[in-house]
């Protein structure tokens, strides 16, 4: 039955995410041509216009990702905790299956949005490289130095990055779902309750981030002028990413279990 729920969920939701992902790529292409054209412009008015378009690009990137998350979480709220929930929970499926379908589909759209965002930024960055007078040798040297600092070839760094890319979007999605699930417990102003809950989770995540930085030794590295920065930064950075990813994974499990338990035992439909 989960497969049928997934099919229905993908069919019902694909238009907005695909449109937003396409917009991200289009914005990247626009930024590429705008940035490559800036050095050739002599008119002050056109110069200002091009820079304004670059600003619009960055605003568009942020807006597209925010709209994606709002769309996903509002559908979750509407399907489960409004009048539509009466129909949803009369389906011959378990609560686990309903929430699993929401999580899987939302996660897929989050990952695709992340890929398209990175692709858009890569396209725009290509425009920057084409617009400046940098030789391929200089660019390669800079890339090698950057990879050396971050330890890109270190298995620990690769593992940490994979964990971060896989777990962070899932944890972020489940935090939104958890906030909505807690918010629906309010008799009135359920959206406000969800917002307050999410703000609390955001503060918690910031505290966790600072603890991860401290426990990894990052602050100690910044304060020790005698330390060979390049030699140990990659190790510390990988440790920080791994710690954060593990904590986010634990939080994701907590959010997921809480969503199921609250939905099973306490539903306050509009």
pLDDT in tens, 17-71: 999 999 999 999 998 888 887 766 666 666 677 778 888 899 999 999 999 999 9
Q: Which residues contact 216 (CB under 8 A, 6 or more apart)?
A: 236, 237, 239, 240, 243
Which pLDDT belongs to residue 226? 44
Instruction: Report residue 149's pLDDT band, with 50, 70 and 90 as the boundaries.
Output: low
Which pLDDT belongs to residue 22? 96
Helix H segments across the chain?
A: 2-13, 15-37, 44-81, 84-88, 95-131, 136-150, 155-183, 190-216, 218-223, 229-265
Rounded CA gap, 222 and 234, in Å? 13
Find the mean pLDDT for residues 77-90.
87
């Amino acid at each position: 039955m989960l497969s049928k729920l997934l099919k229905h969920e993908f069919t019902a939701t694909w238009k907005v995410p695909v449109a937003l992902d396409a917009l991200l790529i289009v914005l990247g292409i626009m930024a590429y041509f705008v940035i490559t054209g800036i050095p050739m412009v002599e008119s002050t008015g056109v110069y200002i216009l091009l820079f304004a378009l670059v600003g619009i690009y960055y605003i568009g990137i942020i807006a597209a990702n925010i709209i994606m998350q709002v769309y996903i979480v509002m559908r979750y709220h509407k399907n489960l905790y409004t009048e539509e929930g009466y129909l949803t929970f009369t389906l011959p499926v378990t609560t686990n299956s309903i929430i699993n379908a929401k999580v899987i589909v939302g996660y897929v759209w989050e990952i695709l949005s992340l890929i398209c965002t990175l692709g858009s930024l890569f396209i725009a960055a290509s425009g920057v490289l084409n617009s400046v007078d940098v030789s391929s040798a200089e660019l390669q040297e800079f890339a090698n130095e950057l990879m050396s600092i971050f330890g890109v070839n270190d298995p620990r760094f690769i593992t940490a990055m994979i964990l971060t890319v896989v777990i962070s979007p899932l944890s972020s999605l489940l935090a939104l779902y958890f906030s909505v699930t807690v918010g629906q417990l309010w008799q009135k102003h359920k959206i406000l309750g969800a917002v307050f809950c999410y703000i609390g989770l955001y503060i918690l995540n910031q505290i966790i981030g600072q603890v991860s930085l401290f426990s990894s030794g990052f602050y100690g590295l910044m304060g020790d002028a005698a330390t060979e920065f390049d030699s140990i930064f990659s190790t510390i950075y990988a440790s920080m990413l791994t710690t954060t990813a593990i904590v986010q994974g634990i939080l994701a499990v907590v959010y997921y279990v809480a969503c199921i338990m609250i939905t099973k035992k306490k539903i306050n439909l509009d």
